[in-house]
Each structure stands twice: as structure tokens, then as C-alpha cells.
Structure 1
Amino acid sequence: MKPIVSAMQAWSCFVISCFAIIILGTLGLLFKAEHPELVGGEEDPKNGPQVAATIFIAVMIYIGFLIFCGIQGLLHMRESRRGSISL
């Protein structure tokens, strides 16, 4: 199986996805718990659990990116070990 994206793009996407999962997961948990700093103001969302559900959907998408880009990075590592000639 050949990689679809370059090694740099694969590993960059992997790292960005890791950070996005951590940050969005934390925000989702705070919205789910209806933390007053996030849902306490006049212009803030009133339904914290619904916002949290939307954020968790984004986390699932980033988990998909993480898996895809991780596999792409591993394919690049496997290809470089075989001694293939790169132009």
C-alpha cells in the first residue's frame, strides 16, 4: 500500500489532531458540566449539553484524522525502511 499524502503532511496532521482532541475534549467536558464561565453570561449558549454534543462530534472527526494520518506516517516509515529510491 502506498501513502496518499507526504510524510510531513501526515505527521503534521497527526500532531494537530492530538492537540485538537485534547483541547476540544476539555471544552466539551466543560460545556457538558455547564461550567458557569462558559454558559453563565447573557450572550453565552443556554444549552451546554447540546453544545458539548456538537463538540464531541468534532472530536470524533479529529480522531478519524488522527488514525488516517498515523497510518499514512507509518506507511512512509515502512517505505523508507525498504530502501526505496526517492527522487
Structure 2
Amino acid sequence: MKPVVSATNAWSCVVVSVFGIVILSAIAGLYKSGHEEFTGGIEDPQDGKAVAGTIFTAVIVYAVFLVFCGFQGFLHVRESRKGAIALQ
């Protein structure tokens, strides 16, 4: 297979995805536990578990990006080592 995106974009996407997963998981955990700073004010959401579910959906999207971009990055590594399969 040939990579779809450049190596720089692939590895940048991996880094951003890892940070997104970590940060959004922490925020979703705080909403799910009903932490006062997130669900204690008058204008804050009433149903913290619903908000946490939505944020966990975003975590799943970032995980898909992580897998795709990681695969693209490893295709670049394999291609740079001349390990790509060439059909002639």
C-alpha cells in the first residue's frame, strides 16, 4: 500500500490525537463523576453523564484518527526502508 498523507502530517496527527484522547478523557471523567467545577454552577449542564457520553464519542473519533495516522506513518517508515512491495 502507498501512504495517502505525507509523513509529517501523519506523525503530527498521531501527536495531536494522543493529546486529544488524554485531555478529553480526563474532562469526560470529571463530567461523569459530577465534579463540582464542571456541574456545580447555575449555567452549567444539568446532566453530566450525557455530556460525558458526548465527549467520549469525540475520544473514539480521535482514536480512529490515531489508528489511521499511525498506520500511515508506519507505511512511510516501511517505504523509506525500501520494504514496500512493488508490482511490476
TM-score scaled to structure 2, two decimals?
0.93
Unaligned stretches of 5+ residues in structure 1: none
Unaligned stretches of 5+ residues in structure 2: none
Indicate whether 1:58 and 2:58 are aligned: yes
Distance 1:72 1:36, change over 3 A: same
Written as runs of structure 1 = structure 2, the 5 A alignment for 1:18-37 is 18-37=18-37
SS of aligned partner of 1:72: helix
Q: Deviations over 1:17-66 (max 9, x none)?
A: 00000000000000000100000001110100000000000000000000
In 2: Cα distance, 1:12 partner to 1:54 partner: 25
Of all paired residues, the percent bearing the same amino acid is 57
Count of paired positions = 84
Written as runs of structure 1 = structure 2, the 5 A alignment for 1:1-87 is 1-82=1-82
In 2: Cα distance, 1:63 partner to 1:69 partner: 10
TM-score scaled to structure 1, two decimals?
0.94
> Following TM superposition, where does structure 1 have runs of at least 4 consecutive aligned residues deviating by more than 2 angstroms?
none
Aligned-pair distance for 1:83? 7.7
